[in-house]
Structure 1
Amino acid sequence: MAKTKKYTGDEVLNLVGKYMSESDTEKVREAYNWASDLHKEQLRKSGEPYIIHPIQVAGILAEIKMDTATVISGYLHDVVEDTPATLEDVEAKFGKTIADIIDGVTKISKIRYKNSQEQLAENHRKLLLAMSKDIRVIIVKLADRLHNMRTLGALREDKQRRIASETLDIYAPLADRLGISTIKWELEDLSLSYLNPEKYHSIASRMNMKREERIRYVQTAVSEIESVVRELELQNVDVYGRPKHIYSIYRKMADKHKAFEEIYDLSAVRVLTNTIPDTYAVLGAIHSKWMPLPGRFKDYIALPKANGYQSLHTTVIGPGGRPLEVQIRTHTMHEVAEFGVAAHWAYKKNKGSGKEVRTEDQTQQTLNVIQGILELQEDAKNAEDFMDGVQGDLFSDRVYAFTPKGDVFELAKGAGPLDMAFSIHTNVGIKTVGAKINGRIVPLDYKIKTGDIIEIITSSTAKPSRDWLDLVSTRRARNKIKQYFKQLDRDDNVEAGRELLIRNLRDTGFDSTELLSTENLIKTAETLHYHAYDDMLAAIGYGDVAAPGVANKLTEGIREAQQVAETDELQRELLEEGHEIKRDETALTQRQKVTADDIVIAGVDNLLVRLGRCCTPVPGDEVKGYITKGRGISVHRIGCPNIRAAQIQGQRLVDVQWEDENGLKPNYDADLTVHGENRNGLLNDVLRSVNGRTRFVNSVNGHVTKNGTAQVSLSIGVKNSVQLNSIMDSLNTLPAVYDVERAFH
Structure 2
Amino acid sequence: MPKANMYQSLHTTVIGPEGKPLEVQIRTEEMHRVAEFGIAAHWAYKEGITNGVKTSQDNNKLNWFKQIIELQEDTDDAADFMDSVKGELFGDHVYVFTPKGDVYELPKGAGPLDMAYMIHTEVGNHTTGAKVNGKIVPLDHQVKTGDIVDIITSTSSSGPSRDWVKMVHTRRARNKIKQYFRLADREKNIENGRNIVIRKLRDEGFDSHKILTPDNLDHAAKNMHYQHADDLLAAIGFGDVQPTGVVNRLTDDVRARLKRERQDQAEKEVLEEHQTISESTESNKQHKKARKASNGIMIEGVDNLLVRLSHCCTPVPGDKIVGYITKGRGVSVHRVDCPNIAKAEQEGQRLIQVSWANEPGDRTIYSAILTVQGYNRAGLLTNILNAVNNVTKTVSSVNGQVDNNKMATISLSVGIRNLEQLERLINTIKNIPDVYLVKRKFR
TM-score, with normalisation over the residues of structure 1?
0.20
Structure richer in strand, relative to its length: 2
- When Rg is computed on C-alpha atoms for both structures, the one with the higher figure is 2
Structure richer in helix, relative to its length: 1
TM-score, with normalisation over the residues of structure 2?
0.33
